[in-house]
Chains A and B, each alone.
Chain A
Amino acid sequence: MAEIATSPTYRRAGGIRRLLERYPFLPALAIVLVLLALNGVFSPNSLSYRSLTGLLSTYMALILLAIAQTYVVYAGDIDLSAGSILSLVNVAIVVLMERWGGGAGAVLLALAIGLLIGLACGLVNGFVVAALRLQAIVATFATSIFFTGLALYILPVAGTPAPTIFWRTYGGRLLGLPFVFYILAALVVLLTVLSRTRLTTQLLAVGDDQQAAYQTGLPVVAIRIRGYLLCGLFSALAAFCITGDTASGDPLVGGKMTLFSVAAVVLGGSALSGGWGTVVGSLLGALTIGLISSVVFFMGTPSEWQNFVQGLAILIVLMAGVLAGRRARP
């Protein structure tokens, strides 16, 4: 049969497109590198080993939160309560660690409970969105109010220092390397493992076309709930990092981070409509957000213009992320 090479929609994937199809996070990586370079140009000091470690330990929480968000976005859902889950876990573990004396055992036990809280919140979200079929944006906004109330109940006012052992470990070094590097390494391993699970493929299939996935015989409700569970889990991990970086509990700490996590996911080239994306992209997206605000400052932007320039830069990069992401997928 004669081939019709001119038809654009049926075109075989070409070089760059093929590459993007395989590694959809490449544009995000490029943006991060450019921003790092700009940072270096305006303030050479900001590329020092120490500064980069600092960047990582500060933004590790947002990175994890963005990854949390990615798993629900895979399935075409969204979680506007991720930041409140982070706050809730943050205050819960800090209060528990203090109550149990702040020893190593107490810390570990509190962390375990923190994970359970994250999972429980994820379960609530998954239940209301997937099982009760409420619209994700508004339902998770409602649960976010609820979780914030809970966090305020547990810790009515920011304070309560975390045990020294905990935050010294997070901010310290192990065998000569900063601890966050180990976290990053562990994260990479965890993400690789997760990317090979059936759940990841199933989440993406559900995100592609929910009805089709159901008709195929996938347990769609259970899969979406698992997505929210993963989101809760990673939000709890993000809470650990923020607790490590801030050494305290604050019931409002995550409030502003939710929308940033959504932005990070988009910056990373994932499609908010589901079915397409990578967690690595979201990781890079979170770094992008951090680096933009640094660049805006190091460029010497007058303080009253900083917000505007930053907002504009994020908008532009968001557009770039979306446009590049679209090139990659069918």
Chain B
Amino acid sequence: MSKLKLSGVSKAYGATLALRRGDLEVLAGEVHVLMGSNGSGKSTLCKIIAGSVRPDDGRILIDDTPVTITGPRSARAQGIGIFYQELSLAAHRTVEENVCLAALPAKAGLFVDRTALKERAARYIALFDGVSGDGFSADALVGNLRPDQRQLVEIMKALASEAPLIIFDEPTSALDRAQVERFFEILRDLKRRGRGIIFISHRMDEIKAIGDRVTIIRDGETITTLNLGETDAGTVIRLMVGGAGDMPASQSSVPAVVDAKDGAALTVRNLSGAGFRNVSFEVARGEILGFGGLHGQGQSALLRAIFGAGAVASGEILIGSERFDAASPRDAIRRGCAYVSGDRGRDGVISGRPIIENVTPIHYLRDRLMIARPSKLSDRVAPALESMHTKFASLFHPINSLSGGNQQKVIIARWLIDRPDVLLLDDPTKGIDLSAKADLFALIRQLAAEGLGIVLYSSEDAELLGNANRILVFNGGSVSRELIGADRTRYNLYQAAYEAA
């Protein structure tokens, strides 16, 4: 019996066809994985089911009866719960209020029943006992929580819907391993209880671990549905990218240690600041230095601090042999430092503006331009975008008309016009599909080969192991271990991340 059945669902935003033909069948008691490259329409499909996007066409059946979903409320009423990729939390409300927000327990129909609310929320909060991290409590304000903790609240909120069908749109992107494990246990339990689950992730290992079947979407079209037990990663990826998709090259060879003979691009000595302490390292020209470890162990804070966007309490930073202490990103950019954040919505995308204006800000600054001549700028911008294989219709279309992955490529392209000396990558592939990742890492290696010093923080072990010449494992704000050469194994990485925890 199928819980949910979609057929021929489509959605266009103006001229962009976000979803061409979405077909999907989710059974009771299965975890149904959606896979597709950036911009293939997965989130759109999910939002249509959850009622927050209005489809142009198509049929939706729940328990084999055709239904019309008029909005999130109506979707909830018909038994659909959802975890939103970009979360749906109220920052100034408490965790428990957020968990129960969709249906606040009522007294006399008018008042909030605080006792019932606390009880109900406690059930879901308890599910993540032990992995929810420091500072997490029922009455903490969500705005005070870390990104992974917020994602947990969103998960609890989705679970609290107690819906027969729950959608999880990239719920694990900010979680650490322990949290993911716990979440998967919960999913397995839900499965046992006959719930239908839609699950989206770009991480192959997670999909293998939890998925039953997978539906592959390419360019807004459902390609096929496969049994995960009967297929392998290679097949899935080939279907995703359509034809010529082999395993990304970056995963196949492990880079060697780089000689430091060209001199250091970036030197950090005894650096302490908000979120990290006493960190020292050196990045040689041409080297990719990896940062590993669990989430929130100071990696991002450190990168931001080097870039001038976070506070440094003590210690010193050198670019080349020059002392460098950037007071602001502006300062850092002038000195040849680049920073790409995985949180593009917050740190990267200038929404609503043309693609070209999203690429040029660094160029403006480095070249001290006053006047912006589109034709001249186009000549500089287009090659940078092409080197990333960015898909776009025109440089003058708004950046919002691109999918997430292509937006991220635009953000990276802005650093390629005027080459920096040091490139700081802060989990740059969050939410990016495999082929885009491959493009990106090929480029990163090329940049390294051209003599840049690169720091790469990634929450995915495979990315680190496949690209970094050396890996520093972070724990509690400082470096707990350095992995060089043959030490760079998944086992060592895992162990180093957890040893002090």
Contact = CB atoms under 8 A, between A and B. Distances in A.
Direct contact of A and B (CB under 8 A): yes
Interface of A: 1-4, 6-13, 21, 193, 196-199, 201-202, 204-205, 208-209, 211-219, 275-276, 329-330
A6 B93 contact: no
Given A3-B476, A4-B297, A7-B275, A217 B73 contact: yes
Contacts of B52: 214-215
Given A201-B97, A217-B76, A209 B90 contact: yes
A19 to B, nearest CB: 14
Contacts of A213: 88, 90, 101
Contacts of B270: none
Ordered nearest first, which 9 A-B pairs have the shortest CB separation? A330-B143, A2-B476, A208-B90, A212-B88, A7-B275, A205-B90, A215-B88, A217-B72, A217-B102
B195 to A, nearest CB: 18
A2 B499 CA distance: 10
B92 A276 contact: yes
A7 B476 CA distance: 11
Contacts of B500: 2
30 contacts: A1-B133, A1-B134, A2-B475, A2-B500, A3-B134, A6-B273, A6-B477, A7-B301, A8-B274, A198-B110, A201-B93, A201-B104, A201-B112, A205-B90, A205-B101, A212-B87, A212-B88, A212-B89, A213-B88, A214-B71, A216-B102, A216-B157, A217-B72, A217-B76, A217-B102, A275-B91, A329-B141, A329-B143, A330-B91, A330-B144
Contacts of A218: 73, 101-102
Nearest to B74: A217
A276 B144 CA distance: 14
Nearest to B141: A330
Contacts, number: 122
Most-contacted residue by chain B among A209, A216, A218 (CB, 10 A): A216
A198 B92 contact: no
A275 B50 CA distance: 25
A202 B110 CA distance: 12
A208 B91 CA distance: 6
Contacts of B71: 214
A12 B146 CA distance: 11
A8 B477 CA distance: 13
B183 interface: no
B462 interface: no
A215 B72 contact: yes
A218 B104 CA distance: 10
B491 interface: no
Interface in B247-283: 273-275, 277
A214 to B, nearest CB: 6
B485 interface: no
Contacts of A21: 141
Contacts of A2: 297, 475-477, 500-501
Contacts of B405: none
B199 interface: no
Most-contacted residue by chain A among B87, B92, B143, B146 (CB, 10 A): B92
B298 interface: yes
Interface in B100-152: 101-104, 106, 110-112, 133-135, 140-146
B43 to A, nearest CB: 12
Contact of A198 (B88, B104, B144, B275): B104
A contact face: mostly helix, strand, loop, or mixed: loop
Contacts of B273: 6
B472 to A, nearest CB: 16
B88 A4 contact: no
A208 B133 contact: no
Contact of A275 (B92, B101, B104): B92
Contacts of B457: none
Nearest to B137: A12
A222 to B, nearest CB: 10
A23 B91 CA distance: 18
Contacts of A199: 110
B90 A13 contact: no
B112 A10 contact: no
B454 interface: no
Nearest to A1: B501
Contacts of B92: 204, 208, 275-276, 329-330
A262 B476 CA distance: 45
Nearest to A21: B141
B135 A10 contact: yes
Contacts of B501: 1-2
B301 A216 contact: no
B294 interface: yes
B296 interface: yes
Given A4-B296, A201-B93, 8 more contacts: A1-B134, A1-B294, A2-B501, A10-B145, A10-B296, A197-B110, A205-B97, A208-B93
A7 B274 contact: yes
B112 A198 contact: yes
B107 to A, nearest CB: 8
A294 to B, nearest CB: 34
A201 B111 CA distance: 10
B291 interface: no
A10 to B, nearest CB: 5
